[in-house]
Amino acid sequence: MIVYKDGSWKPIEETTVSVMDHGFLYGVGLFETFRTYQGVPFLFRDHLTRLKKGLHSVYIEWEEQEAFLYNLVNLALEKNNLTDGVVRLNITAGISNWGLPNEEYSKPSTILFTRPVASVPDGKKAVFLNIPRNTPEGEVRLKSHHYLNNLLGKRELGKNSNSEGIFLTKEGFVAEGLVSNIFWIKDDVLYTPSISTGILNGVTRQYILHLASLMNVKVKEGFFLKEELLQSEEVFITNSTQEMVRISQIETTPFPHKTNSVLNQLEKLYRQSTAQQLQSYQQAKRVDMQDDEYKLISI
């Protein structure tokens, strides 16, 4: 794997971070993970918007331009002999003194790397985790280096890669998956936990809510007990690399695959959106920083 770090490309074995980088010492760093379609990163601006907002909230000054980062994505694919990949853009606070600073981090490190897109099963099983979802360290949950809660949840889940663990809050409300947001459908209404539960406001989560609004599907965001989830008709999880994944069973409760359902329509519209964005980029033959990606979708 060839990795970009602060202006240079090196094999991953030669890419290092200083022990005095506060991303290492104190976990001060954020990242975004997204995938490409024929070299085009999907919802790229949305990921960068969330990243920049989060970095500002943890006092990291980072002003890389979208066009520059878009070119880095293409170079990463080229250097790793990939047509498409899962891309990780990681920003660490950078080198600072030993101790917690009062000033802003003005020299962060930018790291970008990619891997092939893994195959996604048609459906997954899921279980409720015993370990509760931790609360965010700040006002909202950031996609940060603080991943111990997820790691412990993964260890509890075990080695079954075809299962997802579902976090509950300490109060017992449905939160999110180990690496995903969760949705369910009942009586043609789309349900998902509120951001107020302390979950990550995933970019794909936001996009699904956008697609639901285009379809005039009623959406309820709130605090839900696991019994309400288990009484639903269809369940799916989302993230930027796996897109939309059906859940076939939670614990002992099955969720049969339905045809011509709200989930089917959402999946179809999501596929159309990735294809239309790709077509738009191909026609322009450049990154148009002014176009609103959401305008690519219409029904």
Taking 3-state DSSP, the helix, strand and coil percentages for the chain, each rounded to the nearest 5, stand at 30, 30, 40
Over residues 174-193, the pLDDT tens digits come to 999 999 999 999 999 999 99
> Chain centroid to CA 57: how far?
19
pLDDT digits (tens, 9 = 90+) for 214-250: 999 999 999 999 999 999 999 999 999 999 999 999 9
List Cβ neighbours of 199 (8 Å cut-off, separation of 6 or more).
Answer: 133, 141, 175, 176, 181, 193
Q: What mean pLDDT comes out for the span 166-178?
A: 97
Whether residues 132 and 268 share a domain: the answer is: yes
The pLDDT of residue 297 is above 70: no
Q: Are residues 265 and 134 in the same domain?
A: yes
Assess whether pLDDT exceeds 50 at residue 298: no
Classify strands 40-41 and 234-239 as parallel, antiparallel or unpaired. Answer: unpaired
Last residue of a domain, one of 55, 85, 115: 115
Q: Is residue 284 situated within a structural domain?
A: no
Domain holding 129: CATH number? Answer: 3.20.10.10
**Looking at residue 223, what is its pLDDT?**
98
- 65 and 101 part of one domain: yes
pLDDT in tens, 104-140: 999 999 999 999 998 887 789 999 999 999 999 888 9
Residue 161, pLDDT score: 67
285: left (phi over 0), alpha (psi -120 to 50) or beta: left
Q: Are residues 154 and 72 in the same domain?
A: no
Q: What pLDDT is recorded for position 287?
A: 47
Domain match, 138 and 109 both: no
Residue 284 is predicted with a pLDDT of: 56
Q: How far apart are CA 190 and CA 232, in angstroms?
A: 10
Q: Which residue range is the domain that position 31 belongs to? A: 2-115
Any idea which residue has 């290492």 for tokens? 24
Contacts of 23 (CB under 8 A, 6+ apart): 17, 29, 92, 93, 94, 109, 145
Query: Does the residue 211 lie in any domain?
Result: yes
The answer to the question of residue 290 being in a domain is: no
The total number of structural domains that make up the chain = 2
**Residue 214 placed within a domain:** yes
37, part of any domain: yes
Residue 105 sits in a domain whose CATH number is 3.30.470.10
Residues 86 and 133 in one domain: no
Q: Are residues 111 and 127 in the same domain?
A: no
111 lies in the same domain as 130: no
Both structure tokens of 222 = 């709130």
pLDDT for 119? 84
Residue 130 and residue 259 in one domain? yes
